[in-house]
Amino acid sequence: MKKCVRTPGLVLAALLMMTVPAPFSNAQITGLMQANIPHSFMIGDKVFPPGQYTFRMESNTNLNVMTVQNQKGDNLAQFAVRESTADHTPRHSELVFRKFGNTEFLSKIYERGSKIGSALTETGKEEQRMVSQGLHATEHTEEQRDNQ
C-alpha cells in the first residue's frame, strides 16, 4: 500500500498562502513623507508654523507612532496613529485637516497610490474644547506633489 504524502504539502502550501500576505495587509505609511504645509496647524496641543515637514513611522512601534520633523531633521513631535482607509486611491500623498474657524488639526495622512493610511488617535485639549463648545469641524485635504 502506498501512503499519500500530498497532505502535508497541501497543509504547508495553505499555511504559506495565509502568512505571506499578512505583512501587506497593514500597509500604513511606511516610508518618509515630505509635506509643504502653507498654514499653521496643530498636532495634539502643539502648534506648527507653515513650512516643510517630514512625517515618518517610528520603527518597532507596530505602525502606531509617527514622528514629525522640520527641514533640519529635528524631531518636533511624536503622535499615536491607527490605520485609516480613504474613500479613494490618492494620486499624490495627502494630508487631511480638521478645521475649526482658523485653527487646523492634522487628522490623517495617506501616501500616493494607497487607500490605507494613518489617522491620528489623540486629540489635544484645544480640539476637545472646541468640540465641547459645539463647534463643528470642516475637513479638507491637501495634496502633496510627490517627486516621482
**Claim: this prediction has a pTM higher than 0.85:** no
pLDDT-derived band of residue 31, with 50, 70 and 90 as boundaries?
confident
Q: Tell me how far CA of residue 109 lies from CA of 11, 51, 126, 136, in angstroms.
A: 39, 17, 21, 21
User: Do 55 and 109 contact (CB within 8 A), yes or no?
Assistant: yes
The more confidently predicted of residues 4 and 24 is 4
Which residues, in sequence order, are CB contacts of 26 under 8 Å at separation 6+?
A: 63, 83, 116
- The DSSP 8-state label assigned to residue 62 in this structure reads T
The more confidently predicted of residues 23 and 38 is 38
- pLDDT at position 147 is 54
User: In the numeric block, which cell numbers belong to residue 95?
Assistant: 494630508
3-state secondary structure of 106: strand
- pLDDT at position 106 is 97
- pLDDT at position 59 is 86
Count of CB atoms situated within 10 Å of the CB of 2: 4
- pLDDT at position 18 is 42
